[in-house]
């Protein structure tokens, strides 16, 4: 069957289905109707914007422009990670989370684009942009879970941290259990989704590929690759995010500076 | 009481002194600690008494570098305890807080975590030894498999005392070590910890414990 290009009027019909969730949310007085309206408008406008600038990126297909796009996306992810982790935007945190996310993304990109897909031109837009976008989105989610768990865990159990220090632990030894807890918590959603993928849901990227005409067998190979990239990228960026940012949140005596927390 | 096992070398090697130390949490507030002076040498068992809020726990936080004095000096081995030397001191200390928190896992797991630190690795005890000390402190061995968070305050306190003993440090800092112990257990703690060579600095309301201290400092009097 030929690919059916969805027209804008056809897409507009799709919005009609929102009557159902809107009615349910209104009936139960959830107070979420305006939030739903804003979310739908934002989602639509953001994706239209993305569509247009991706057209531009694909047309020019220049490695430097693509790198610039990755840089900007990582800066946006950096601010979002710190805000959603309920941390204050200090210079040290902004630089360290940026460094961790950027390094994590670059390592994953180079590995998959150069050694797995074996692109003749590194950073070709058609591959770099979707793979980076998928990995970065997941890194953001995992970083928020991991970094929030680490710093709020440390704050909530400060006496435990101090007990370890006062009984001979180095800072690295004293934060180890909190680091371990943060890695576990951030890895769990991706592990759960890997364990059920294909059984209870078809992933978005694979669905998109199939809808746009790819064979399901090509689509699953890319999907497996992207799941490996997402899992490795998220663990790496959470690890680097905590490792780098922890350089800026302890004083000379290894005391944790609670002032970096929005809620303390 | 056994306070006479200190050689002159050891005396020189380990000593802690507070010289007119004051501390307040906010500059505009009255000091929690006001010009406290004390000296502790190996073999000394220092008892710090005072009403609730008199700054007993704060004194320990200052010594361990969790707070910084607003005036006065803390000396370790005769030299001012500056931030870079706090870490050297902490390798020699074992601190028992009022409410010990070792983590979420079973006691059999979390108990050994402090022994994975480089400073304590040479002191890793066998499980048999741990249970022997537990028995000496009146702890039932059944708690070994329980979650640490399910233990009572008194059980946690005894577990902390067992850890303090087994880590075998030169300086023990104990916050209300006997508040949940009966007289028999208190005597066992005395037998285990008072070895005449280490410094013990303790905060206590317990007259039984304070009677056994070689020096008692009353924070209400400072």
The verdict on a CB contact (< 8 Å) between B99 and A159 is yes
How far apart (Å, rounded) are the C-alpha atoms in residues A225 and A80? 26
pLDDT along chain A (264 residues), means of 10: 81 96 96 95 94 89 91 94 94 95 94 92 88 92 95 95 96 96 94 85 80 86 92 95 95 94 85
Q: What is the mean pLDDT of residues B156-182?
A: 91
Confidence of residue B21 (pLDDT cuts 50, 70, 90): very high
Nearest to B117 among A159, A168, A254 (CB): A168
Reduced DSSP (H G I as helix, E B as strand, rest coil) percent helix, strand, coil of chain B, to 5:
40, 20, 40
Nearest residue in chain B measured CA to CA from A257: B66
The verdict on a CB contact (< 8 Å) between B103 and A165 is no
The verdict on a CB contact (< 8 Å) between A168 and B116 is no
Residues A249/A92, Cβ–Cβ less than 8 Å: yes
Q: H-helix or E-strand containing A108?
A: helix A91-109
B92 interaction partners in chain A (CB closer than 8 Å): 168
The verdict on a CB contact (< 8 Å) between B83 and A255 is no
The verdict on a CB contact (< 8 Å) between B173 and A253 is no
B118 interaction partners in chain A (CB closer than 8 Å): 168, 170, 173
Closest CA to A107 of A247, A237, A245: A237
Q: Residue A108: what are its φ and ψ, rounded to 5°?
A: -65, -45
Give the position of tokens 């993928």: A197
A157 interaction partners in chain B (CB closer than 8 Å): 101
How far apart (Å, rounded) are the C-alpha atoms in residues B166 and B141? 17
B161 interaction partners in chain A (CB closer than 8 Å): none
Question: In Å, what is the CA distance from B121 to each residue of A203, B100, B113, B116, B138?
Answer: 48, 21, 10, 6, 26
Q: What is the mean pLDDT of residues B1-15?
A: 54
Q: Residue A144: what are its φ and ψ, rounded to 5°?
A: -60, -45
A253 interaction partners in chain B (CB closer than 8 Å): 65-66, 68, 83, 86-87
Q: In what order do the strands lie in the sheet with B45-49?
A: B93-96, B171-175, B199-203, B45-49, B215-218
Using the predicted structure, report yes or no on whether residue B87 has a pLDDT greater than 80.
Answer: yes
B84 Cβ under 8 Å from any chain A Cβ: yes
**Which of A161, A162, A163 has the highest number of chain B CBs within 10 A, making it the mutation to test binding with B?**
A163
A157 Cβ under 8 Å from any chain B Cβ: yes
DSSP code, position A114:
I
What pLDDT score does B188 carry? 85
Nearest to A165 among B90, B92, B169 (CB): B90
* pLDDT tens digit sequence for B30-85: 888 888 999 999 999 999 998 888 889 999 999 999 999 999 999 998 889 988 89
Using the predicted structure, report yes or no on whether residue B3 has a pLDDT greater than 70.
Answer: no
Residues A168/B93, Cβ–Cβ less than 8 Å: yes
B174 interaction partners in chain A (CB closer than 8 Å): none
Reduced DSSP (H G I as helix, E B as strand, rest coil) percent helix, strand, coil of chain A, to 5:
80, 0, 20
CB pairs under 8 A between A and B: 74
What pLDDT score does B13 carry? 63
What pLDDT score does A90 carry? 94
A9 Cβ under 8 Å from any chain B Cβ: no
The verdict on a CB contact (< 8 Å) between A163 and B91 is no
Using the predicted structure, report yes or no on whether residue B90 has a pLDDT greater than 90.
Answer: yes
Closest CA to B168 of B94, B107, B96: B94
What pLDDT score does B191 carry? 85
A180 Cβ under 8 Å from any chain B Cβ: no
Mean of the per-residue pLDDT values of chain B: 88
Q: List residues bridging with B199 in a β-sheet.
A: B171
Q: Residue B47: what are its φ and ψ, rounded to 5°?
A: -110, 130
Nearest residue in chain A measured CA to CA from B93: A167
Distance of CA A162 to the CA centre of its chain: 32
What pLDDT score does B4 carry? 43
A251 interaction partners in chain B (CB closer than 8 Å): 83
């Amino acid at each position: 069957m030929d690919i059916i290009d969805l027209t804008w009027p056809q897409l507009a019909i799709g919005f009609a289905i929102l009557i159902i969730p809107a009615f349910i949310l209104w009936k139960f007085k959830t107070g979420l109707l305006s939030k739903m309206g804003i979310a739908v408008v934002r989602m639509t406008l953001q994706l239209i914007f993305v569509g247009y600038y991706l057209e531009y990126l694909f047309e020019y297909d220049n490695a430097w422009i693509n790198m610039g796009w990755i840089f900007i996306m990582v800066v946006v992810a950096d601010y979002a990670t710190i805000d959603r982790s309920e941390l204050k935007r200090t210079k040290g945190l902004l630089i360290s989370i940026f460094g961790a996310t950027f390094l994590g993304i670059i390592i994953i990109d180079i590995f998959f684009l150069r050694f797995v897909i074996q692109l003749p031109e590194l950073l070709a837009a058609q591959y770099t942009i979707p793979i980076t976008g998928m990995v970065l989105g997941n890194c953001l989610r995992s970083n928020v879970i991991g970094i929030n768990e680490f710093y709020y865990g440390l704050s909530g159990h400060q006496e435990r941290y101090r007990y370890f220090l006062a009984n001979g632990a180095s800072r690295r030894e004293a934060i180890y259990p909190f680091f371990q807890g943060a890695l576990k918590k951030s890895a769990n959603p991706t592990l759960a989704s890997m364990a059920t993928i294909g059984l209870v849901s078809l992933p978005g990227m694979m669905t998109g590929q199939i809808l746009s005409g790819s064979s399901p067998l090509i689509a699953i190979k890319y999907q497996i690759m992207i799941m490996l990239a997402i899992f490795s990228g998220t663990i790496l960026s959470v690890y680097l995010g905590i490792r780098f940012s922890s350089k800026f949140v302890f004083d000379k005596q290894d005391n944790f500076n609670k002032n970096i927390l929005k809620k303390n | 009481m056994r306070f006479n096992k200190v050689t002159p070398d050891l005396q020189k090697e380990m000593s802690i002194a507070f010289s007119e130390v004051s501390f307040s949490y906010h500059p505009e507030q009255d000091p929690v600690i006001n010009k406290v002076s004390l000296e502790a040498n190996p073999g000394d068992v220092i008892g710090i008494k005072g009403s609730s809020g008199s700054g007993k726990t704060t004194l320990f936080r200052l010594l361990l570098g969790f707070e910084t004095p607003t005036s006065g000096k803390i000396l370790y081995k005769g030299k001012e305890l500056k931030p870079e030397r706090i870490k050297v001191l902490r390798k020699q200390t074992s601190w028992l807080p009022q409410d010990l928190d070792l983590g979420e896992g079973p006691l059999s797991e979390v108990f050994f975590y402090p022994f994975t630190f480089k400073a304590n690795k040479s002191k890793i005890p066998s499980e048999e030894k741990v249970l022997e000390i537990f028995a000496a402190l009146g702890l039932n061995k059944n708690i070994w498999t329980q979650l640490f968070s399910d233990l009572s305050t008194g059980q946690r306190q005894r577990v902390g005392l067992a850890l303090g003993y087994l880590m075998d440090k030169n300086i023990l800092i104990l916050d209300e070590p006997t508040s949940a112990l009966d007289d028999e257990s208190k005597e066992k703690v005395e037998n285990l910890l008072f070895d005449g060579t280490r410094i013990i600095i303790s905060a206590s309301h317990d007259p039984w414990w304070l009677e056994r201290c070689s020096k008692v400092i009353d924070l209400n009097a400072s």
